[in-house]
Amino acid sequence: MSSIRDADRQLTPTRQTPDSRPTPDSRLPTPGTRELFLGIDGGQTGTQAVLVDGTGRVLGRGAAGPSNHVEMPGGRERLRAAVIDSSNGALSAAGLGRVDAVAFEAVYCAMTGEADFKTEIITPIFQSRVVRVEHDAPAALAGGTLGDPGIIVIAGTGSVVYGEDAEGRSARAGGWGYVFGDEGSGFGLAREGIRAGLEALDGVGPQTALVPVLTRRFALADLRLLPMVMYNGHVSRDGVAAAARDVLDTWQAGDGVAGRVVASGIEALASRVRSIAERLALVAPRVCLSGGVFRSGAYAEAFRVAVVSQLPGATVEPASLSPAEGAALLALRAAGRPLTDALRAALVNSSRVLPEP
């Protein structure tokens, strides 16, 4: 993706003292020390870090606050704190030091939104031979397919579809944010459910159980107050996205309007999967699902049916690993480690043993 830049940083294993005599930097890897690789997934609801060794074994995990909205006041500081805190959590779980006193072979940061301007914030945090800051989709795909070609569909607070072929070509569809995109995501489903409720109250849309359900969700006397409450900043985007659960529940209860909202979101995501498959000439793609919306089994199954109807050869399944574990896998790849079957098995098996933070 041309808008997303790799940020490789080669560190010199010496530091200049005031009298210009080089002295060893104790934080850089030395012969005989354990090699450390760090993967970070910075999302809209939280930041996850996974620390692995050179065999792919998970050593520790860490978690911190969200890594989005960097353009807002204090956003750069929040991003830096989230990356440091999640990294320190993973290091602490492994019985190691803090991020400012530990050397890494490679760090791969998968960040929500465009990653270019985040590179200058994140890169100086780490003492590492390689630091890469990317969009979050490649790491999610790596977690989904364990580094193999395929397509990842991310439907969390926002949504994006991303794919890679065997030659390393990539394509992306969606990911344009809550104003211009996010179809089929938590925010997208909630937004369209709220729109349908407001249209019912305006008398231009059919009546729907979404009106009382969403009115209760936001603790309002009247659903028509919600736009003002949101625009005034009293309800966040994440708060709106949480209402996707109500839209899905109302759909499963048989409400036709909620059903049309869900069907529209599913169709939008499925059409983007087809677009990626066509652009990359993937005849029978492996399609992996990631993100909180797919925790609804009914939604995931309806989406699978929609994808297979457009791509009969496709296989649709949950992601094998989390995006943060996918980022750790890409950290290993960035350092030149071949992704052998043994390494992948070690990552999968140890990820099941070590609990989430």
Domain at 84, CATH number: 3.30.420.40
| Residues 115 and 31 grouped into a single domain | yes
- Contact at 8 Å (CB) between 142 and 330? yes
| Residues 275 and 299 grouped into a single domain | yes
103 falls within a domain: yes
Rounded CA-CA distance 131/129 in Å is: 7
Whether the pLDDT of residue 108 is over 90: the answer is yes
- Contact at 8 Å (CB) between 241 and 187? yes
Total H helices, total E strands in the chain:
13, 12
Whether the pLDDT of residue 31 is over 50: the answer is no
- Contact at 8 Å (CB) between 205 and 192? no
| Residues 18 and 142 grouped into a single domain | yes
∠ CA 66-72-74, nearest 5°, is 75
Confidence at residue 117, expressed as pLDDT on a 0 to 100 scale: 73
Radius of gyration from C-alpha coordinates of the chain: 22
| Residues 207 and 294 grouped into a single domain | yes
Q: Which among 136, 188, 169, 154 is positioned nearest to 318, based on CA atoms?
A: 154
164 falls within a domain: no
Mean pLDDT across the stretch 114-130? 84
| Residues 195 and 62 grouped into a single domain | no
- Average pLDDT of the chain is 87
Confidence at residue 73, expressed as pLDDT on a 0 to 100 scale: 64
| Maximum Cα–Cα distance across the chain | 79
Instruction: Determine the 3-state secondary structure of 104 from DSSP.
Output: strand
Residues 6+ apart with CB under 8 A from 253: 209
Whether the pLDDT of residue 121 is over 90: the answer is no
| Residues 182 and 313 grouped into a single domain | yes
| Residues 264 and 341 grouped into a single domain | no
161 falls within a domain: no
- Contact at 8 Å (CB) between 223 and 213? no
| Residues 110 and 73 grouped into a single domain | yes
| Residues 81 and 104 grouped into a single domain | yes
Whether the pLDDT of residue 115 is over 90: the answer is no
| Residues 291 and 340 grouped into a single domain | no
Q: For residue range 279-293, what is the model confidence (pLDDT) as tens digits?
A: 999 999 999 999 999
* Domains held by the chain: number: 2
Query: Per-residue DSSP letters for 262-279?
Result: HHHHHHHHHHHHHHHHHH
Task: Please count the other Cβ atoms lying within 10 Å of the Cβ belonging to residue 286.
Answer: 18
DSSP code for 98: -
Tokens for 262, please give them: 């869900």
Confidence at residue 201, expressed as pLDDT on a 0 to 100 scale: 97
Whether the pLDDT of residue 75 is over 80: the answer is no
Q: For the whole model, what pTM was predicted?
A: 0.82
Confidence at residue 18, expressed as pLDDT on a 0 to 100 scale: 35
Q: Where does the pLDDT of residue 15 fall: very low under 50, low under 70, confident under 90, or very high at 90 and above?
A: very low
User: Dihedral angle at the C-alpha atoms of 244, 248, 250, 255, nearest 10 degrees?
Assistant: 120
| Residues 97 and 221 grouped into a single domain | no
What is the dihedral sign for C-alpha 322, 187, 262, 287?
Answer: negative
Q: C-alpha 73: how far from its chain's center?
A: 23
Q: Where does the pLDDT of residue 2 fall: very low under 50, low under 70, confident under 90, or very high at 90 and above?
A: very low
Rounded CA-CA distance 341/208 in Å is: 51
Could you give the C-alpha distances from 75 to 70, 71, 81, 82, 94, in angstroms and in order? 4, 6, 10, 10, 29
Tokens for 335, please give them: 């350092």
Residue with tokens 């919306």: 293
Question: The domain containing residue 116 runs over which residues?
Answer: 14-146+321-353
